[in-house]
Chain A
Amino acid sequence: NAGVMQNPRHLVRRRGQEARLRCSPMKGHSHVYWYRQLPEEGLKFMVYLQKENIIDESGMPKERFSAEFPKEGPSILRIQQVVRGDSAAYFCASSPGLAGVTDTQYFGPGTRLTVL
């Protein structure tokens, strides 16, 4: 059973461009989470999604950031008009979404975004 997959692993963008980060959850997992790790800081929650639904986006910046988890295909974190402050490691996690029991999150290797 393959783990959580993220691509690309490294992404370089110039200011003003768009960044698209992809996350394929583990097989059988229907819940996806995105976290961001800024340089010298801890991981911060961004958004929690289930298939075709955003459950909690309390950690998402108000502008330029969006996320989706379509019925088919990977989850996408999209950053429009990137700025240097967006440079960070973006981690995706998935969980099976089992109610009433430990719903452990399994993390992917991350995408390291560098904005020039």
Chain B
Amino acid sequence: QSVLTQPPSASGTPGQRVTISCFGSSSNIGSNTVNWYQQLPGTAPKLLIYNDNQRPSGVPDRFSGSKSGTSASLAISGLQSEDEADYYCAAWDDSLNGWVFGGGTKLTVL
């Protein structure tokens, strides 16, 4: 059971907008920033969003992050087939004194 809670799956058709939620608590998301990682099939994870809502250079502006209280969300607009991947949220947990990840959300582009 992961400390951060994500839906196991999400789906959408090309061009649609999808959102992936990440629920935590006051010791992690509620007091620290959230990062999102994208893992394409058979590859290592890659940073997608940092500091709740910042995009690294090279990440399309179709990807956006937000946070409110103890939950965070990743939104993908203009869905493309190459967005099919696993997405993970992560944050530092002050109580556990370590990093915690969500269980991951498998995004399928129909």
On whether the two chains bind one another, the answer is no
Interface residues of A (CB under 8 A from B): none
